[in-house]
């Protein structure tokens, strides 16, 4: 019985360690990027430079880890866009599923842009 309680404690603690690591990302970087609609790319008062595709994921790696959220996946996508130097992102899709590493996960994909004033 003592070993069963010890094993259960190890599982619970390893789940907690995984969830703390999962949500460790720079929220300040996400604040520098704004979402925009695809039709806004046709504005003629500013220019947009495409910086490529970005994605963000929220993963539940262990059974006792926190459940993945779409909000976290969106924030991680904005952080990825900020790392490219973007200040705008167009969301293409968010999907929920699983993978070999994640029993449950959200993945959001978008296109990163740098909005620049016209010269």
DSSP for 18-63, written as a single string:
HHHHHT-S-HHHHHT-EE--GGGGG-SSEEEEEEEEEEEEEEE-ST
Q: How confident is the prediction for the chain on average, in pLDDT? A: 84
- Among residues 56, 60, 97, the alpha carbon closest in space to that of 74 is found at 56
With bands split at pLDDT 50, 70 and 90, how would you rate the model's confidence at 12? Answer: very low
> What is the structure's pLDDT at 5?
39
- Among residues 79, 81, 70, 103, the alpha carbon closest in space to that of 25 is found at 79
- Among residues 80, 72, 79, the alpha carbon closest in space to that of 96 is found at 72
For residue range 58-104, what is the model confidence (pLDDT) as tens digits? Answer: 999 988 889 999 999 999 999 999 999 999 999 999 999 999 999 99
Give the predicted TM-score (pTM) of the model: 0.77
């Amino acid at each position: 019985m003592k070993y069963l309680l010890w094993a259960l404690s190890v599982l619970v603690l390893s789940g907690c360690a995984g969830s703390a690591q999962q949500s460790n990302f720079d929220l300040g970087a996400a604040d520098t990027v704004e979402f925009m609609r695809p039709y806004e790319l046709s504005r003629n008062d500013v220019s947009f430079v495409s910086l490529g595709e970005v994605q963000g994921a929220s993963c539940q790696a262990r059974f006792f880890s926190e459940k993945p959220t779409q909000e976290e996946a969106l924030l991680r996508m904005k952080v990825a866009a900020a790392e490219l130097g973007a200040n705008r992102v167009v969301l293409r899709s968010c999907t929920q599923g699983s993978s070999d590493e994640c029993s449950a996960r959200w993945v959001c994909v978008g296109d990163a842009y740098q909005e620049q004033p016209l010269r």
